[in-house]
Amino acid sequence: MSNFGRTKDHEKIYKPVKNQAQHGLLAYAVNAQLSLRALGNLALVALCSASFSAQAAPATLELRDPYPFIEAQISQAEINEATIALEQIILDIEDSRSRYAPELIQPLSILGKAQMATGDYMQAVETFDRAIHLTRINSGLFAPEQVPLVYLQADAYVAMSDLRNAQQREEYAFQVLSNRSTSRELLAGMQRLGDFYLDTYNFLAARTLFRQGYEVLENNGFGNSDSAIPFLKGTASSYRMERFPPLYSQERRADELGRKPENTRNLEYSTEYLTINNFPAGERALQNIVKIRQGALSFRDENPDPKVVQNDQALVNQALLDLADWHLLFSNQKRARTLYSEIHRQQAQFPTELKIDLSLPELLYLPVPQTLKPPPAADRLPMETGSITLEFSIHKNGRIRGLETIAYEPNDAIEFHARSSMRQAIYRPAMVEGEATVTPAHRYVHTYPYFPSRKARAKEQEALEQQTGPETEPAPVPDLDLEQEQEQEQQADQPANDENDKQTNAANFRGTIIESANANNA
């Protein structure tokens, strides 16, 4: 084959190869352009995302939960700033959602707490009332979610000394828990309502709640658990209040003790009157507490932590102390002394923070003295605070001897009531090495509010002015310059005055001669 032919054949072979290479280069160029375009698009997307994220960052920060920070402000007494923030949040929710949105419940409850912190309890009651209303609208009439708000409302009434409305709110909360709640929540509600009844001197209603709560625990196998201790202690406290009423006046006892609950339909009180004067039941309740505390010690491991053991033993000692005080109040001196000595022996090796201080006398019972009757509203001045100081000695049995009045302010109007009440007092005597000792010259200061009389205060002021006499004005300071001027004027007028005196004397002399002559002629 000629070289031409070879060349021609070579061209025939090379031409498709060349065409394929050209197509490959074109495809590579297109792919490169597409890749660059894709990278550009990705960069643009990244830029847009970064820009959007930068713009959305403030919005994300604004959407975070602001309530923990506001509650921290309230705890740090920054009430005004917290109130302004909460009111703005409430307005924003009302504008964006509605006046009945469930998101309003939390800021309203925190706003009520802020108002309570400033002492505006009535406004707090209204704020809590709106939050309760929204909870009932969104969750139902007997929704358990409203119970914490009702408790806050009751606390506000207690702060205003409106115990009647506070009792209604406490009983309503318990009624809600009775309808729709777990057993644990119901027991917590029974304990809270029982404590409220004790604080308001309603020992029968409190005893019913504590007794029924303990029965629930006992029926479910928890009668010897730590959960039963508050109910046992409340039962004992109700018997102690029955035997040692906190009010000395019989009239105040009738008005303030034993009010029947009004809004607890599912509790049976008719049989509770059978427990009156059953004081051994209170002692048994305290003994059960001691057994529960001692049982916790016996279930420890073989090599327990000494600090844990000491803490448990300190709880046992506190239970023994409550039982010893019970025996002392009920005049069982022997049992009381035995328990006090046992407490001293067990805590001998305890650190100071776990020891019960028995070196000083402790007041166990003192009925509140009868307060002074206020004058009529028209004759009533603003409330003031009076005080009376009493001194006495405390014997080994906890009773007082040698009562004396040391001082009183502003007068002795309450002295009779204070002394009558102090004669009923019972102290835990001071202990030295576990033995009771006499405390001489112990002083007690009783403070009380009273309303002074406007007329009596005016009479006292008038009597004080009469004793001191009228105020005498100070003697005027002599003006020396004025005296000198008057002297000079008198000296200047002296010749003229002498001349006038001479003329007057002469006239008088002539008149006397004429009168004598006329008398002789006659």
And the tokens for 92? 């924003």
And the tokens for 116? 């309570």
Separation CA 437–CA 431 (nearest Å): 6
Separation CA 416–CA 371 (nearest Å): 11
Domain segments of the chain: what residues? 1-37, 64-181, 362-462
Q: So what's the pLDDT on residue 88?
A: 94
Task: Specify the higher pLDDT residue, 29 or 358.
Answer: 358
64-181 and 362-462, same CATH topology: no
Torsion angle in degrees (nearest 10) through CA of 504, 510, 515, 516: 130
pLDDT tens per residue across span 265-297 = 556 666 666 778 889 999 999 999 999 999 887
- SS (HEC) of 419-478: HHHHCCCEEECCEECCEECCEEEEEEEEEEEECCEHHHHHHHHHHHHHHHCCCCCCCCCC
Percent of the chain with pLDDT over 90: 54
Percent of the chain with pLDDT over 70: 71
And the tokens for 440? 């001489």
Separation CA 366–CA 421 (nearest Å): 7
Q: So what's the pLDDT on residue 301?
A: 60
Domain spanning 362-462: which CATH class is it, in words? Answer: alpha beta
Mean pLDDT of all residues belonging to the chain: 79
Q: Is the whole-model pTM more than 0.75? A: no
Strand arrangement of the beta sheet that strand 400-409 belongs to? 400-409, 384-394, 439-450
Separation CA 202–CA 470 (nearest Å): 57
Task: Specify the higher pLDDT residue, 56 or 367.
Answer: 367
Separation CA 373–CA 379 (nearest Å): 13
Task: Specify the higher pLDDT residue, 119 or 371.
Answer: 119
Q: So what's the pLDDT on residue 479?
A: 46
Q: How confident is the model at residue 464 (pLDDT cuts 50, 70, 90)?
A: confident
Q: So what's the pLDDT on residue 516?
A: 42
Once rounded to an integer, what is the mean pLDDT over residues 73-85?
Answer: 91
The closest of 296, 354, 365, 285 to 325, measured between CA atoms, is 365
The closest of 333, 236, 328, 246 to 283, measured between CA atoms, is 236
CATH superfamily, domain 64-181, is Tetratricopeptide repeat domain (1.25.40.10)
Per the DSSP assignment, residues forming a β-bridge with 247 are 368
Q: So what's the pLDDT on residue 11?
A: 42
pLDDT tens per residue across span 399-413 = 999 999 999 998 899
Q: So what's the pLDDT on residue 209?
A: 94
Residue 496 has pLDDT above 60, yes or no: no
pLDDT tens per residue across span 342-390 = 999 998 888 888 899 999 999 999 998 888 888 898 888 999 999 999 9
Residue 50 has pLDDT above 50, yes or no: no
